[in-house]
Homo-oligomer: A and B are copies of this chain.
Amino acid sequence: MEKRNLYLKTTPVDEAIAIYLKAIKEIWSPIYETIPVTASLNRVTRHAIFAKYCSPLFNASAMDGIAVNSEKTIGANEATPIDLELGVDFKVVDTGDPINPPYDAVIMAEDLIDIGVENKVRIVSAASSWQHIRSIGEDIVVGEMLLPSNHKIRPIDISVLLSAGILEVEVIKCSEVAIFPTGTEIIEPTEEPKEGDIIESNSRMFENMITLLGGIPHRFPTIEDDYDKIKEKIKEATEKYDMVIVNAGSSAGTEDYTVHVLRELGQVLIHGVAIKPGKPVILAIVNNKPVIGLPGYPVSAYIGFENFVIPVINMFSGQAKDKTNEVEAVITKRLVSSLKHKEYVRVKVGSVGGKIVAAPLARGAGAAMSLVRADGFCVIDQNSEGVEAGEKVKIELYRSLQEIENTVVVIGSHDLILDVIGDMMPNTHPNTFVSSTHVGSMGGLMALMRKEAHMAPIHLLDEKTGEYNINYIKRMFKDPMALIKGVGRIQGLIVKKGNPLHIQGIDDLKNHRFVNRQRGAGTRLLFDYKLMEMGISPDEIKGYDREASTHMAVAALVGSNSADVGMGIQSAAKAMDLDFIPIGEEEYDFAIPQTYLDLPIIQSFLDVLKSEKFKERLQELGGYSLNRIGEIQLLREEV
């Protein structure tokens, strides 16, 4: 085996970034540029900015009416009105017209009495001096500080600067960041992937994160795993840009050259940070520029960027990190973490019965969809071994709390119809959302018992009665419960297109590679029930212990010839263009405590469930029967 890199140690996150920022500060000074005010949105001021003009620029009428000398109006009242003559005693003014001596007051048009004499008006009350006049400088005075230094310019600031005669502004230059994907196995998204290829997409995420931070990204084509090429490109980039990101090759694999290149070109301050995911981070300085090596797994790349790239860009732009929205939530699952690292666990967050709950998503570094689906992060400190289910944790929230509160929290068995409802609801019922987490039917009922979900989608066959769902709920819950009827689903065996292995039923499985669903999944219970019925032992099924957590995952494994057969629903087989051998129809319903039925978000959910549009979409998917959809069955506790 070839020599691999060794991490001498992993540095705690806070220590790593502190060391790095300190080192950068020693070699870096801010760069400024002068730009037109009209193009300065979101830029950061170098100096405080002072007004060049007053606003208003002159004493101006604040009303439509006439300008007068207030002394000439003294004594006017109902008994002794005063008549004024145009050109002699007054002139007509519109709002904004200048007022100059001898005039020192404005009388509103509606306070003038028409006496039928041309060029004359009558007044019945005196004007006080300066009434209805906006004084010069009333809003802005010459020399007044308009904006402080280090201020991020907003639309209103641009307007005020221009009003005060400021046409140009000196601002901090935007950081220009070079991004290099590396790796011989990496292909562009536009290429057709072959086995072993990895589609390059991290650089596009970085690019857009930099844009959101106000920086200017420069994304370069992928460099293959070639020491000299990597070295040449990094060296060039540090001469031209403010910062360089090298993606992947930061780990300890046989072809991970980045750290060696950076050691040769400059100084590697940190290699390996106590963070999970994201450990193989490299923090280096080359040619007086920060160069950061980020790991290749998408979640690691994201977390590495958040923790190490953002602080550098913010330092360059003189801005503090945007404060994340932090809430306290109850964690729904035990999270074991190591003292070796700080861990970022992606969570779905919901508000159920007045309690905010956070359900952990897939923890793997490769689980990019966990970032897409996440409502926030639960950060487990390095000095913690984890949290117990039900414990209160701090969540860095990405969605607004208001959105969270308008979300139906669905935890239980997976079905594609949940995605369809989740897609439809915000459109048909603005500001309502559905969040679904897939833990199988039993897992869903457990979440419901712990009051972590509004409803649990389940399909649990009672072996004794042959009835679906109802008995499980009655047995497990003391509080009054209801069942919202969902869909009838054909469960069956998912096999390859054309069924080359001629699988006809469960008794044909023995010599083929099976993929099972996880414990607690309704599909697994049904499978176990069928095995038992037929007197087949799980040991006889090759792959019984290989678990996939959704119907689609089962279909994907069969579709890719990674398994020969799995059990699941027809729509999953159809989506992957596979064959399907029906085993039986089951009832996929929603268990819900009766107290939640009246919540507006649950009513919206029911509206969608019962809508024609929804039925149409399910018919497109196929494999569902819809005759009782949306019916509510109230369940009473067994005595």
Residues A189 and B162 in contact, CB atoms below 8 Å apart: yes
Chain B residues within an 8 Å CB radius of A196: 58, 96-98
CA distance A572 to B543 in the complex (A): 85
Number of copies: 2
Instruction: Report which of B1, B208, B296, B560 forms a contact with A54, defined as CB distance below 8 A.
Output: B560
Chain B residues within an 8 Å CB radius of A200: 162
Once A156-B205, A212-B41 are accepted as A-B contacts, the answer to whether A94 and B149 lie under 8 Å apart by CB is no
Q: Mark A335-370, 1 if CB is under 8 A from B, else 0.
A: 000000000000000000000000000101011110
Name which of A77-85, A382-390, A421-429 contacts chain B. Answer: A421-429
Once A142-B556, A185-B96 are accepted as A-B contacts, the answer to whether A402 and B323 lie under 8 Å apart by CB is yes
Of A37, A140, A427, most buried by chain B (CB within 10 Å of CB) is A140
Residues B253 and A208 in contact, CB atoms below 8 Å apart: no
Name which of A130-138, A261-269, A587-595 contacts chain B. Answer: A130-138
Chain B residues within an 8 Å CB radius of A142: 552, 556, 559, 575-576
Residues B156 and A371 in contact, CB atoms below 8 Å apart: yes
CA distance A95 to B548 in the complex (A): 21
Q: Taking the complex as formed, is A202 at the interface, i.e. its CB lies under 8 A from any CB of chain B? A: yes
Q: Mark A206-225, 1 if CB is under 8 A from B, else 0.
A: 11110110000000000000
For chain A, residues 143 to 165, give those with C-beta under 8 angstroms from any C-beta of chain B. 143-150, 154-160, 162-163, 165
CA distance A302 to B4 in the complex (A): 61
CA distance A557 to B193 in the complex (A): 73
Q: Taking the complex as formed, is A430 at the interface, i.e. its CB lies under 8 A from any CB of chain B? A: yes
Instruction: Report which of B202, B251, B371, B562 forms a contact with A59, defined as CB distance below 8 A.
Output: B562
Instruction: Report which of B154, B367, B557 forms a contact with A139, defined as CB distance below 8 A.
Output: B367
Residues A141 and B298 in contact, CB atoms below 8 Å apart: no
Once A53-B199, A368-B139 are accepted as A-B contacts, the answer to whether A208 and B556 lie under 8 Å apart by CB is no
Q: Taking the complex as formed, is A125 at the interface, i.e. its CB lies under 8 A from any CB of chain B? A: no
Chain B residues within an 8 Å CB radius of A148: 419, 422-423, 426
Residues A211 and B41 in contact, CB atoms below 8 Å apart: yes
Residues B320 and A430 in contact, CB atoms below 8 Å apart: yes
Residues A368 and B140 in contact, CB atoms below 8 Å apart: yes
CA distance A200 to B161 in the complex (A): 11
Chain B residues within an 8 Å CB radius of A97: 196
Residues A323 and B400 in contact, CB atoms below 8 Å apart: yes
Residues A141 and B199 in contact, CB atoms below 8 Å apart: no
Residues A253 and B94 in contact, CB atoms below 8 Å apart: yes
Instruction: Report which of B41, B137, B572 forms a contact with A557, defined as CB distance below 8 A.
Output: B137
Q: Taking the complex as formed, is A599 at the interface, i.e. its CB lies under 8 A from any CB of chain B? A: no
Residues B156 and A372 in contact, CB atoms below 8 Å apart: yes
Residues B205 and A560 in contact, CB atoms below 8 Å apart: no
Shortest distance between the CB of A342 and any CB in chain B (Å): 20
Shortest distance between the CB of A369 and any CB in chain B (Å): 5
Nearest CB to that of A55 among chain B residues?
B368
Residues B145 and A419 in contact, CB atoms below 8 Å apart: yes
Instruction: Report which of B1, B136, B159 forms a contact with A201, defined as CB distance below 8 A.
Output: B159
CA distance A245 to B443 in the complex (A): 55
Q: Taking the complex as formed, is A504 at the interface, i.e. its CB lies under 8 A from any CB of chain B? A: no
Q: Mark A501-540, 1 if CB is under 8 A from B, else 0.
A: 0000000000000000000000000000000000000000
Q: Taking the complex as formed, is A57 at the interface, i.e. its CB lies under 8 A from any CB of chain B? A: yes
Chain B residues within an 8 Å CB radius of A431: 320
Given contacts A139-B369, A155-B204, 12 further A-B contacts (CB under 8 A): A136-B557, A137-B552, A137-B553, A139-B362, A142-B575, A143-B575, A147-B372, A149-B427, A156-B368, A162-B199, A165-B189, A165-B193
22 contacts between A and B (CB under 8 A): A41-B212, A58-B196, A59-B562, A64-B252, A94-B254, A97-B196, A100-B195, A135-B557, A137-B553, A139-B367, A139-B368, A139-B369, A144-B419, A148-B419, A148-B426, A150-B427, A155-B207, A155-B208, A156-B371, A157-B372, A159-B368, A163-B298
